[in-house]
Structures are given as C-alpha cells and as structure tokens.
Amino acid sequence: MRRKPAEPRSALTIGGAVARGASRLAAAGVADPRLDAELLLADQLSADRLALYREPSLHVPPAAQRRFDALLFRRQMGEPLQYLRGRVEFFGMEFDVRPGVLIPRPETELLVDLAVARLRDVQRRLGRTVRFADVGTGSGCVAVAIAATVTTAAGEAIDCSAHALTVARRNIIRHGLGGRITPRRGDLCAPLRRGGLRVDLIVANLPYIPTATMETLDRQIRDHEPRVALDGGADGLAVIDRLVWSAAGSLQPGGWLMLEVGIGQAAGVADRAREAGWRVEAIEKDLAGIDRAVVLSRA
C-alpha cells in the first residue's frame, strides 16, 4: 500500500510568519502592523488570534502561507483590513463588508444609541410597532443594529447603490431580520414617498467630507472606499442639505431626523435645519468628544 506523501512544510513557523508580516506592514506605514498581520494569518489558519500565541512554533502550511503573503501585499498597498477579511464588528455584532461599500466605524454607533432610545420611547407611549428608515444604509449595519436592539421595530434600509443593497441584504438575512427590514433602492427618501410610507424616525450617515478634502484622506480611505459614500460636495453638506429639506414629509407627526456629521459641521447643519422648519433637539458628542450627531424633530 502506497503511503500518501506528506504535504511539504512552510519554512516559516507561526511566530516567524507574524513577525515577518508585521515587519512588512510597518515598512509600508500601516498603523497597527502586528495586529493586522495576526488577524490575517489567523484567518488563513481558520483560528483565532490567541491560537497564534498558544502554538507559535508550528509551521504554517504552504497554501496558507501563500494566501497570507498575497493579503499582506494588498494591505501594504493600502487596501483596508476590513475588505481583506470580509467582515467588521459594529455595535457588538459582526457584519459582512465588501469593496464598494463604506466600512462601518465606531463613531456611527452613536446614531444607533440615539435611535434606539427614541424608538423605545414611542413604543412605550403609543404601544405599537415603531418604524424607522436608515437612509444611505451602505452595509445595513445601522438598520440591523437598531432592529436587533428594538425587537418590535420594523425598518427600511435605503441606498442608491445596488451593490450596497446586496451587501445590506446579506447582513439583514445573516442576523435573521428579513421579516422586519426591507431593503429599498433609491435617492434619499424617494422610496418612502413612492411607497406612501411614513416612519417614526429617519437616521442617516450620509457623505459629509468636502470635495477639496478628499485628496488629503488616508490612502486606504481615499483609494479604496466608495467616493459616493464620502464626498459631500463643496462644503461637505450637499447631500445632508437635500435630506433636511425633503425628509419631513416621510415622518410621522413628532418624528425625528438624526444625522451624522463631520468635525466642525454640527452648528452649521443645525442652522440650516432651523431654516427648513426643524427644531434642533440635540447635538450629541461621540466618545472622542466631537459633535457627531444632530437630532432634529418636527412639531
């Protein structure tokens, strides 16, 4: 009986592969080179990061080493770690994320907290299912996080990008919310108007980076994330302005509009909102102390 030949061993141990990967990423200016190298290698070994430390002397299988090297090269070229891994954590939940869709960021979790508090208040007062819309849903992370937390809420996940909605739909299904969140394609509140829908709350993380600032962004953002989800026009507020002037007709009486904004934009957004007939209920800071969310309401 012929014995199956053993798979050749990689020249590198797990510890050696991490060290070499971290060195390559550091030379390329990656902010957290060792962490990125550990996560990428752990993925190729179908293991967690702690496993790398438990058995650092084990040799990396050649196929895993080749995949790891390919990912290291892409990371050196500035491709975001989240795209390379195909997933990201947001609001304590894991989401699929793909190139062409904005990467969820921790500061956006503030919108979820604010939305959850107000939807729960409506539910307590009125004793009915509460409805919300996530305008510019991207990966669907905000809509999913809200619906997963407020278990009686139903929502609309709206985006102008068919690709983004494909990813959002995948995340909606992944978290078992297909019966409560409806993906809709269209510009801002247009899908709500077409469907004759009114919601209790609209939440939106829209593009807010001024066009002239785009070229100054970190290359992994500038060169890899979708420009349509970042570029907010000359002053960064072009898309936000359109929503402020068009959203009221899609809200129930007393409903809220919640907007994520960039550094230094909150006061200007609040002033424009007052001109459009909104009451500025609050300007909320993120964990870094930056005015990050503007909360508007209608009488």
Pairwise CA distance, residues 271 & 278, whole Å: 9
pLDDT band at 92 (very low <50, low <70, confident <90, very high): very high
Q: Is pLDDT of 70 > 80?
A: yes
Token readout for 105 is 């960021």
End-to-end CA distance of the chain: 84
The predicted pLDDT at position 4 comes to 47
Asked if 120 and 74 touch (Cβ cutoff 8 Å), the reply is no
Mean pLDDT for the stretch of residues 149-175: 97
The predicted pLDDT at position 8 comes to 53
The predicted pLDDT at position 10 comes to 56
Q: Is pLDDT of 285 > 70?
A: yes
pLDDT band at 1 (very low <50, low <70, confident <90, very high): very low
Mean pLDDT of the chain: 95
Report how many helices (DSSP H) and strands (DSSP E) the chain contains, helices first: 12, 9
At 87 the three-state DSSP class reads strand
Pairwise CA distance, residues 185 & 108, whole Å: 22
Mean pLDDT for the stretch of residues 182-209: 97
Pairwise CA distance, residues 259 & 158, whole Å: 15
The pTM score is 0.92
Report the run of H or E that residue 124 belongs to, with start and end.
Answer: helix 109-126
Asked if 130 and 150 touch (Cβ cutoff 8 Å), the reply is yes
Pairwise CA distance, residues 20 & 38, whole Å: 11
User: Domain 88-297 is classified in which CATH homologous superfamily?
Assistant: Vaccinia Virus protein VP39 (3.40.50.150)
Token readout for 136 is 């510019």
Q: Which pLDDT tens digit goes with each residue over 207-239? A: 999 999 999 999 999 999 999 999 999 999 999
